[in-house]
Amino acid sequence: MQDTLQEIGPDSKPLTIFEEWMASAKATPGIREPTAVNVATVASDGEVHSRVVLCKKWSEEGFVFYSNYRSRKGLDLAAHAQTALLFYFDPLFRQIKISGKAEKTSRQDSENYWRSRPRESQLSQYISNQSAPVDSRQELEDQWHAAEQKFTGRDIPCPEHWGGYLIRPRTIEFWIGRPNRLHDTFEFEKDQAGWTFRRLSP
């Protein structure tokens, strides 16, 4: 699909472009989870891991997702804060690549988001020992129902090992696919003075 948004150039603001593209993705049939983003991390032994999470909010500061801090991604980010995000909107033939450093959001932010989640999701995360081996599906179901009974009539507390990550971007790259493979790629890089811009060869 040809890009119909405003021309990307040196005066463009990366967050504005991101928000326009996200709005287009949300309005496009066939994109089930527009906020789904691939997160790549590096383990302490140098092994690279990749998975999809949901980006829950974004601002000039960066991009936020929530997870179990004891998960594989959590352990990776504790060892190497450098990470990369990739959004791909297939029907639009566009992708957004972001590289930067991850840091935990404030405890208050994590708890605020936790309270906004459906109760069933809270129960799942409360009992989850994410990335650890589990013997069976039945074991998970039993733990979930036990927690459901335990917290009947009560709020489910946000676990200390669960919360948000803020990815502060160093580079943001916008890619627009073209039928003849002569794609458009625009990169913004952040320094102390702000964002610099350049077009990249496809």
* Cα dihedral across residues 71, 73, 74, 75: positive or negative: positive
pLDDT for 6 equals: 59
51 SS3 class: strand
* Residue ranges per structural domain of the chain: 14-116+161-200
Enzyme catalytic residues:
181
The token pair at 61 is: 């500061």
DSSP designation for 8:
P
Which of 51, 93, 86, 96 has the alpha carbon at shortest distance from 72? 51
pLDDT of 62 > 90? The answer is yes
Pair type for strands 194-200 and 184-191: antiparallel
Mean pLDDT of 112-129: 93
Evaluate if residue 2 carries a pLDDT over 70: no
Homologous superfamily of the 14-116+161-200 domain (CATH): Electron Transport, Fmn-binding Protein; Chain A (2.30.110.10)
